[in-house]
């Protein structure tokens, strides 16, 4: 990484002076310095989306004459002289409202309940959604599926009726990226002893590593990754464990 050549800007986060890389978001810079900002729809591998509003922080500048404003830290890039407060009264108040609303949407979600409890909310003050699943419409699943290139998931309908689904079951490659990226574990999947994997109402076969007999993934997933990456298919037919072992052996041979 050509770290030295990148342009730096000086910001203050919670009283700490930090040299931050220009172009990065407040959220990224804060997390790199170990300052935790809660978020739900942020995913380091994807473009920031700003849907959950949980990562709000308060910003000001010396020239602003005391004027402050709330911004979503995942979308706001760091600027010279920016003074950021990640835990002001205003910030906590705002996050509380967001969590109160989320709790009404997904009353059964352990993740949201725990987050809300940290902000002193143990029960929502709004009407709970009936027959609620735990989806909070962060659309990480949609975006992660697009990033992988399967493009199988979409948000359907709109407003209060909006939901996430796979309209064309054949487009899904059964890779589990959506389910494993979901912040509230809203996408159910199962792996059976008979070597099948079930997700989005479809059953997939599983391919096993020939040496370690660990499940690697679905045939559809392996074909897709091989095609998109340009790497030989054999590369994807090994489990992580076997690959690590092989690397160790190769490394030992190179060393001595």
Partner 1 sequence: MNSETKTKASKKKAAVLKSDTNGKLDQIFDLYPREEDSLIMILQEVQDRLNWLPPEALDRVADELNVPRARVQGVATFYRAFSLEPRGEKVIKVCLGTACHVRGAQILVDELERRLDLKVSHGCTKDGRFSLETVNCVGACAMAPAIVVNENYYANVKPDKLDKMLKKEQQS
Q: Using the rule CB under 8 A, is 166 a contact of partner 1?
A: yes
Q: Which of 59, 106, 153, 207 is in the footprint of partner 1 by CB under 8 A?
A: 153
- CB of residue 146 to partner 1, shortest distance in Å: 8
Considering only CA atoms, which of 77, 97, 60 is closest in space to residue 26? Answer: 77
Q: Is 160 in the site for partner 1 (CB under 8 A)?
A: no
Say whether residue 167 binds partner 1 (CB under 8 A): yes
When asked if residue 47 is in the footprint of partner 1 (CB under 8 A), the reply is no
**Residues 127-146, mask of contacts with partner 1 (x by CB under 8 A):** -------------------x
Quote the least distance from Cβ 182 to partner 1, whole Å. Answer: 17
Among 17, 114, 127, 157, binds partner 1 (CB under 8 A): 157
Among 51, 147, 154, 226, interactor with partner 1 by CB under 8 A:
154
151 binds partner 1 (CB under 8 A): yes
Minimum gap (Å) between residue 154 Cβ and partner 1 = 4
Residues in the site for partner 1, rule: CB under 8 A? 146, 151-158, 166-168, 171
């Amino acid at each position: 990484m050509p770290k030295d050549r990148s342009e730096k800007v000086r910001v203050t986060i919670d009283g700490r002076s930090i040299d931050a890389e220009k172009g990065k978001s407040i959220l990224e810079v804060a997390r790199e310095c170990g300052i935790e900002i809660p978020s739900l729809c942020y995913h380091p591998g994807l473009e920031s989306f700003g849907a959950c509003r949980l990562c709000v922080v308060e910003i000001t500048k010396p020239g602003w004459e005391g004027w402050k404003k709330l911004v979503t830290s995942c979308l706001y890039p760091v600027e010279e002289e920016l003074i950021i407060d990640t835990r002001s009264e205003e910030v906590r108040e705002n996050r509380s409202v967001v969590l109160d609303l989320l709790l009404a949407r997904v009353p059964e979600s352990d993740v949201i309940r725990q987050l809300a409890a940290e902000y002193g909310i143990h029960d929502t003050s709004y009407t709970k959604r009936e027959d609620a699943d735990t989806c909070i419409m962060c659309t990480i699943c949609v975006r992660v599926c697009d990033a992988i290139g399967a493009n199988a998931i979409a948000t359907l309908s709109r407003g209060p009726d909006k939901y996430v689904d796979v309209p064309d079951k054949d487009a899904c490659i059964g890779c589990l990226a959506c389910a494993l990226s979901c912040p509230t574990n809203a996408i159910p999947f199962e792996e059976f002893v008979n070597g099948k994997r079930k997700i989005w109402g479809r059953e997939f076969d599983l391919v096993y590593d020939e040496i370690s007999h660990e499940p690697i993934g679905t045939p559809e997933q392996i074909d897709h990754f091989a095609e998109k990456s340009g790497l030989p298919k054999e590369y994807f037919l090994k489990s992580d464990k076997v690959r690590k072992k092989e690397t160790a052996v190769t490394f030992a041979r190179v060393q001595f």
